[in-house]
Amino acid sequence: MQFHPTPLAGAFLIDIEPVEDQRGLFARTVCEDEFARHGLVGRFVQQSVSWNPHAGTLRGLHFQIAPDQEIKLVRVTRGAIFDAIVDLRPGSATYGKAFHTELSAGNRRQLYIPAGMAHGFQSLEADTEVLYQMSAPFRPASARGLRWDDPALNIPWPVCASRKISDNDRAWPTLAARTLALTLNL
């Protein structure tokens, strides 16, 4: 595998190194030892799939608070997504900054998201299936979110027409509102 650092420390794009023959290709997508050599966790406790029948479907931005913060490894098995993450690690040099990339069935690229980041994506094609693994179990009480269209994050979501978003995702606070609420201990 090839590990490409992103501008957000600890987040990596991971490309496969395919071995090809007349049958097609073979490649590892997770290897605990190889991940460890790059300082990454390669052991996950849950794997989930989301199917998005329409282009423009937007999910996020999601994260879990301590003690349930999770590392995520995201890939696309059908179609394509615009994938975005936001650094929420206190004291990080890139706190509040976003990074985005395209993951597709065609590029077989994975995004490794360290703990302390919010994550969201928008489907770029109809019939898009996203597969992701987590290092910590889903705990509804620890689940939090940020507004996908927070102007401070300035994430260039590419599909404007026929956007589909859940009511929950429309209601998350902006980063500034969340920070203020935490400061006031609300």
Ligand X SMILES: Cc1cn([C@H]2C[C@H](O)[C@@H](COP(=O)(O)OP(=O)(O)O[C@H]3O[C@@H](C)C(=O)[C@@H](O)[C@H]3O)O2)c(=O)[nH]c1=O
Q: Least distance from C-beta 37 to ligand X, angstroms?
A: 26
- Quick check: 59 binds ligand X (CB under 6 A)? yes
Identify whether the C-beta of residue 136 lies closer than 8 Å to the C-beta of residue 70: yes
Closest by CA to 132, choosing from 186, 66, 24, 52, is 52
Please select the residue that binds ligand X; options are 71, 81, 120, 123, rule is CB under 6 A: 120
CA distance 173 to 179: 9
With beta carbons less than 8 A apart as the criterion, state whether 117 and 11 touch: yes
Q: Select from 1-9, 55-63, 102-110, 170-178 the region that touches ligand X (CB under 6 A).
A: 55-63
By CB under 6 A, residue 138 contacts ligand X: yes
DSSP string, 85-104: EEE--TT-TTTT-EEEEEEE
60 binds ligand X (CB under 6 A): yes
User: How many Å apart are CA 12 and CA 1, to the nearest integer?
Assistant: 12
Shortest gap between Cβ of 90 and ligand X (angstroms)? 20
Under rule CB under 6 A, residue 26 binds ligand X: no
Taking contact as CB under 6 A, which single stretch among the options 11-19, 29-37, 96-104, 115-123 is the one that binds ligand X?
A: 115-123
Interface with ligand X includes 51 (CB under 6 A)? no
Strand pairing report for 128-134 and 24-26: unpaired
Cβ pair 73, 130 in contact under 8 A = no
Options 29-37, 58-66, 84-92, 172-180: segment touching ligand X (CB under 6 A): 58-66
Cα distance between residue 150 and residue 169, in whole Å: 12
Q: How far is the CB of 45 from ligand X (least distance, A)?
A: 11
Active site residues: 62, 132
Q: What is the DSSP letter of 35?
A: H
Residue nearest to ligand X (CB): 138
**Cβ nearer to ligand X, comparing 34 with 125:** 125
The residue ranges that bind ligand X (CB under 6 A) are 48, 50, 59-60, 62, 119-121, 138, 166
